[in-house]
Each structure stands twice: as C-alpha cells, then as structure tokens.
Amino acid sequence: MVLRTLAMPADTNANGDIFGGWLMSQMDIGGAIMAKEIAQGRVVTVRVDGMTFLRPVAVGDVVCCYARCVKRGNTSVTINIEVWVKKVLQNRLASATRRRKRCLSTLPLIIRENHVLCQRNKKVPGLPGT
C-alpha cells in the first residue's frame, strides 16, 4: 500500500459521490511515491493508459492505493496501481476501479499503468551497468 486516505465531503461531485478526478489524483500521488523511491530523485507522470470506474466511492470510505513496479527502463519506470475502498461501517473491502489490459493475460483489478520519467539524463538506480 502506497497511500491510504479518507474520502471527504469536499471531494464530491454533483451527484454526491466522490469525484473521479480526485480519485485519479490520489492514484497519481501513490504512483509518484513509489516512483520517487525507485528513481531516488524527481519524477513526472508521462502517461496513464486508462482506467474503468467500477462503482462509486462514498464520503467516509477509506481509499487504499496499492502499487507495483512492473517495468524499469534506463530513465523510466512503469507502475501498476490498484484502488480498493474500505467500507468502514460494513468492515469490507471493494474494488473501486480497474484498468483495462490490452493483452490476453490480465491482472485482476489493475487500474492503470503510470509511466513515470526520471529527471532528464538521470538513470534509474539499481540497473545493471549503472
């Protein structure tokens, strides 16, 4: 888990559900935390490959972002992020979003690949030959 936060009333849309842009922002922050730890320096999100909102997030839900580095390049990392929502009053977890995979073998509930570039001309640490 890279990020855990509480959905608040200020984050709602016109229907009273949590605004999708707020949820995407939390995912971006969680992905940036992991990318920054890997790159050991400045990072920036370059691309989001897509996401699907499976169900609304409500005020009071605990939003949990889970991240996994799936690829390291010379100056980039690719991170998959899942979002799960904890319904505190019901004491259960539910997936809030899912990323669509473009290949046949899919990982369930993956919602996005966050392509992150490291600082210009800086190599990602820990790679062979660096």
What is the CATH number for 107? Answer: 3.10.129.10
Residue 42 has pLDDT above 80, yes or no: yes
pLDDT of residue 97: 58
Q: Are 88 and 61 in contact (CB under 8 A)?
A: yes
Which range marks the domain in which residue 27 is found?
A: 3-118
Q: Is residue 125 part of a domain?
A: no
The model's pLDDT over 84-103, given as tens digits with 9 standing for 90+, comes to: 898 877 766 666 654 432 22
Tokens of 100: 């669509």
- Chain mean pLDDT for the chain: 76
Q: Is residue 124 part of a domain?
A: no
Q: Is residue 8 part of a domain?
A: yes
Q: Is residue 28 part of a domain?
A: yes
Instruction: Tell me which residue of 62, 81, 78 sits closest to 70, measured CA to CA.
Output: 78
**pTM tops 0.95:** no
Tokens of 115: 């392509």
Q: Is residue 126 part of a domain?
A: no
Number of structural domains found in the chain: 1
